[in-house]
Chains A and B, each alone.
Chain A
Amino acid sequence: MSFTLEIVTPERLTWSGEATALVLPTVDGEVGILPKHEPYVTVLGLGEGRITTKDGGVELLAIIGGFVQVRPDRVLVLAESADLAADLDLTTIEKAKADAEQALAQVDLADPGAVATARAAMARALLHLNVAERRRRRG
């Protein structure tokens, strides 16, 4: 048995298709969603998501923020940012991490907005790094 899954961000449709299981990072820890889940809405946090596709494969993805809506006809993941591990490029991430480190070192501590932005960039780079490395280890 499977359910229709769509993962969208404000910028694009990241993934859509039939899935048999889905694990998502929420603000209160991970949740697993299986077919015939009851109607459900929750807020997503920052972390790794896993899609088990209909043919048994597992797709890893990096998810930041947003929410998930489970409806009787399909499951909608509306993430602020969602990237499949297969789409992540290690050299780009390393560069983003280096940029984030530099931004954190130079940030004006009196400006909470700038500090938050720099921290978010760092968290994003670290998450992408983790997810990309885990995918490589799995092969």
Chain B
Amino acid sequence: MASQREIRRRIGAVKNIRQITRAMQFVAASKLKRAQESTIAARPYGHSIDEVIADLAAVLGEEGHALLSKPADGGAKLIVLFTTDRGLAGALNSNLIRFAMKELESAGPGTRVVTIGKKGRDALARGGFEIAAAFPGYGDKPTFADVTPLVRLLVDDFLGGRAASVTLVHPTFVSTLVQRPEGIQLLPIQPTADTAGIPGNQFLFEPDPATVLEALLPRYVATRIFQAVLETTACEQSSRMVAMKNATESAGDLISELTLTYNKVRQANITREMIEIASGASAH
């Protein structure tokens, strides 16, 4: 059995770990609140842009813009994988990476991948996948302007014919406990059904529908990507919060277990010493 001092040292070490995981849990909880708020704040914009695109697509048809129309079949797919820069976020990153690898393997040859966040880049590089471009994560407070370089890269690749379709792989925030990886086709854009209740042809488009569409589509792509970034941030924080909560609880369990062992050892030592003293006294 371990010595009394050794067990005491282990209890101290586990208490330190518990302090750190508890602090990380609270930090993640407060960042999660912010991330959730900005995800919700971004929704009206995304919703309205969906509606206007649906109206415009109804007026102009599928041939209205290069970003809407399907290119010839057989082209290479481009997969964009959103992960985090930092670990200690439960199974979030490994789930995303496994999902992306499955997509990559099922997609035909010539499929390329762009990674956001250090974890995705490292895992895919280890797995022997070729990475077309790697972006660092967008941190805790992503802004709309941050995603511009990524948007430009994706739109250029699609319009230049280097990618026949673009798919985003990012976690979706179902609840604090559940985050699901999802693959969503970004390009070519698939207009949603018109939900505004007003037929598109009743709107007056100025200067004309084609110009409005031209200005809108890149913005739509940027909005979609920004939403994926926000979802990733919210999922990272909630996943970390839950993982750290579990770690704090496990540390607590371990501490009570160790304390019990410590007390048993201490008692055994005292008993042994008493026997020694008693037998020494009776020997005299």
Q: Does B bind A?
A: yes
Stretch from B16-24, B126-134, B184-192, B199-207 that touches the partner = B199-207
- The complex places the Cα of A42 from the Cα of B211 at a distance, in Å, of 9
Stretch from A8-16, A55-63, A85-93 that touches the partner = A8-16
Specify which chain A residues have a CB less than 8 angstroms from the CB of B203 in the assembled complex: 39-41, 69
**Interface membership of B216, Cβ < 8 A:** yes
Stretch from B47-55, B70-78, B108-116, B240-248 that touches the partner = B47-55
- Contact call A10/B226, Cβ cutoff below 8 A: yes
Label chain A's interface by main secondary structure: strand
**Interface membership of A72, Cβ < 8 A:** yes
- The complex places the Cα of A136 from the Cα of B55 at a distance, in Å, of 41
Specify which chain B residues have a CB less than 8 angstroms from the CB of A81 in the assembled complex: 144
B interface residues, tally (CB under 8 Å): 33
Q: Which residues of B104-145 have CB atoms within 8 Å of chain A's CB atoms? A: 143-144
Specify which chain A residues have a CB less than 8 angstroms from the CB of B206 in the assembled complex: 26, 28, 40-43
Minimal Cβ-Cβ distance residue in A for B199: A39
Specify which chain B residues have a CB less than 8 angstroms from the CB of A42 in the assembled complex: 205-207, 212
Contact among A6, A27, A67 with B216 in the assembled complex (CB-CB below 8 Å):
A67
Q: Which residues of B177-219 have CB atoms within 8 Å of chain A's CB atoms? A: 196, 198, 202-207, 211-212, 215-216, 219
- Contact call A11/B219, Cβ cutoff below 8 A: no
A interface residues, tally (CB under 8 Å): 28
Specify which chain B residues have a CB less than 8 angstroms from the CB of A12 in the assembled complex: 38, 41
- Contact call B152/A113, Cβ cutoff below 8 A: yes
Known pairs A11-B42, A13-B41 / 18 extra A-B pairs, C-beta < 8 Å: A10-B42, A10-B226, A11-B143, A39-B204, A40-B203, A40-B206, A41-B55, A41-B203, A42-B206, A42-B207, A43-B212, A66-B219, A67-B212, A67-B216, A69-B52, A72-B198, A76-B48, A117-B148
- Contact call B42/A41, Cβ cutoff below 8 A: no
- The complex places the Cα of A25 from the Cα of B148 at a distance, in Å, of 23
Contact among A10, A28, A72, A80 with B207 in the assembled complex (CB-CB below 8 Å):
A28
- Contact call B45/A10, Cβ cutoff below 8 A: yes
Specify which chain A residues have a CB less than 8 angstroms from the CB of B42 in the assembled complex: 10-11
- The answer to whether A13 and B44 touch (CB under 8 A), given A28-B207, A41-B204, is yes
- The answer to whether A38 and B204 touch (CB under 8 A), given A43-B212, A80-B219, is yes
- Contact call A67/B38, Cβ cutoff below 8 A: no
**Interface membership of A71, Cβ < 8 A:** yes
- The answer to whether A8 and B219 touch (CB under 8 A), given A13-B41, A80-B144, A113-B152, is no
Identify 27 residue pairs between A and B in the complex whose beta-carbon atoms are under 8 Å apart, listed by A's number. Answer: A8-B45, A8-B48, A10-B45, A10-B144, A10-B222, A11-B38, A12-B38, A28-B207, A38-B204, A39-B202, A40-B203, A41-B52, A41-B203, A41-B204, A43-B207, A43-B211, A43-B212, A43-B216, A67-B219, A69-B48, A72-B198, A76-B48, A80-B144, A80-B219, A81-B144, A113-B152, A117-B148
